[in-house]
């Protein structure tokens, strides 16, 4: 499904899309958090952009490990360590591989969810990025198992992640800064679920 050139293309799109959506993500975080999610992520992916030339000499595993390292170093907030560790451990999984198959991508998403839950202890229904990640993972696995069509599975994943964003509007935050708001977090979508969906969309569009 994806070789190194494709991975770099997807990373380039995530860098560009995070930059384009920076103000939107920050606005979302302004309403239920501290208004830094877009700024944080954009700072992180700008650091990744700076690293892009050095990726010419690295394998797909080392590239993703470095992305994780940059995000952990530069993003800050809760999302920095969460996304950072997710990318890093997805990179560790890719050791020895030159191609990323749909099965690999599904395994990497499982690893990302596992890392985020290990660090942040959020389960579904707490109004976090997990509310888009787990439904996306389930939808992709189901769709891919049914007919082996990776493109279709990714589209199903994006639809589920988007439904996850809508779901976060209907629930009260019990993890992260938004939890300080209690009932006042109702009606507002979660910034992290939104940024995860942006990343998955970039993968789905280019894969």
For 35, left (φ over 0), alpha (ψ -120 to 50), or beta?
left
Report if residue 90 touches ligand ADP, rule: CB under 6 A: no
- Nearest residue to the partner Mg ion, using Cβ: 33
Q: Quickly count: other Cβ atoms within 10 Å of residue 172's Cβ.
A: 15
User: What is the largest distance, in Å, between two alpha-carbon atoms of the chain?
Assistant: 50
Provide the CB-side half-sphere exposure for 32 (13 A, CA): 26
Which residues, 21 to 60, sit near Mg ion by CB under 5 A? Answer: 29, 33-34, 36-37
Which tokens is 104 given?
């690999």
Using CB under 6 A, which of the segments 99-107, 124-132, 151-159, 198-206 binds ligand ADP? 124-132
Question: Do residues 132 and 159 touch, judged by C-beta distance below 8 A?
Answer: no
User: Whole-number minimum distance, CB 120 to ligand ADP, in Å?
Assistant: 3
User: Whole-number minimum distance, CB 105 to ligand ADP, in Å?
Assistant: 21
User: Whole-number minimum distance, CB 161 to ligand ADP, in Å?
Assistant: 12
Report if residue 81 touches ligand ADP, rule: CB under 6 A: no
Nearest CA-CA partner of 120 in 88, 156, 86: 86
Rounded Cα gap, residues 67 and 87, in angstroms: 7
User: Whole-number minimum distance, CB 2 to ligand ADP, in Å?
Assistant: 26
Residue 200 contacts by C-beta under 8 Å, 6 or more apart in sequence? 132, 136, 154, 157, 158, 161
Report if residue 34 touches ligand ADP, rule: CB under 6 A: yes
Rounded Cα gap, residues 98 and 195, in angstroms: 27
Q: In the set 15, 18, 29, 157, which binds ligand ADP (CB under 6 A)?
A: 29
Residue showing tokens 């942040």: 120
Nearer to Mg ion, 72 or 109 (CB): 72
Report if residue 116 touches ligand ADP, rule: CB under 6 A: yes
Q: What, of ligand ADP, Mg ion, none, does residue 120 touch, CB below 5 to 8 Å by kind? A: ligand ADP
User: Whole-number minimum distance, CB 65 to ligand ADP, in Å?
Assistant: 21
Residues lying near ligand ADP in the complex (CB under 6 A) are found at: 29, 33-34, 36-37, 40, 77-79, 82, 116, 120-122, 128-130, 175-177, 190-193
């Amino acid at each position: 499904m994806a070789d190194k050139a494709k991975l770099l293309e997807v990373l380039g799109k995530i860098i560009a899309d995070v930059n384009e959506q920076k103000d939107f993500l920050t606005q979302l975080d302004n309403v239920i958090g501290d208004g830094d999610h877009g700024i944080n992520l954009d700072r992180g992916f700008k650091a990744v952009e700076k690293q892009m030339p050095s990726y010419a000499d690295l394998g797909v595993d080392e590239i993703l490990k470095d992305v994780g390292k940059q995000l952990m170093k530069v993003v800050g907030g809760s999302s920095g360590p969460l996304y950072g560790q997710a990318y890093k451990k997805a990179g560790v999984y890719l050791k020895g591989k030159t191609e990323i198959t749909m099965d690999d991508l599904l395994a990497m998403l499982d690893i990302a969810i596992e890392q985020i839950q290990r660090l942040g202890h959020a389960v579904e229904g707490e109004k976090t990025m997990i509310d888009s990640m787990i439904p996306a993972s389930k939808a992709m696995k189901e769709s891919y198992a049914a007919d082996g069509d990776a493109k279709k599975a990714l589209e199903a994943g994006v639809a589920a992640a988007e439904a996850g964003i809508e779901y976060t509007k209907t629930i009260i935050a019990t993890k992260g800064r938004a939890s300080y708001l209690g009932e006042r977090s109702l009606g507002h979508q979660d910034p992290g679920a939104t940024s995860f969906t942006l990343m998955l969309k970039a993968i789905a569009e280019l894969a």
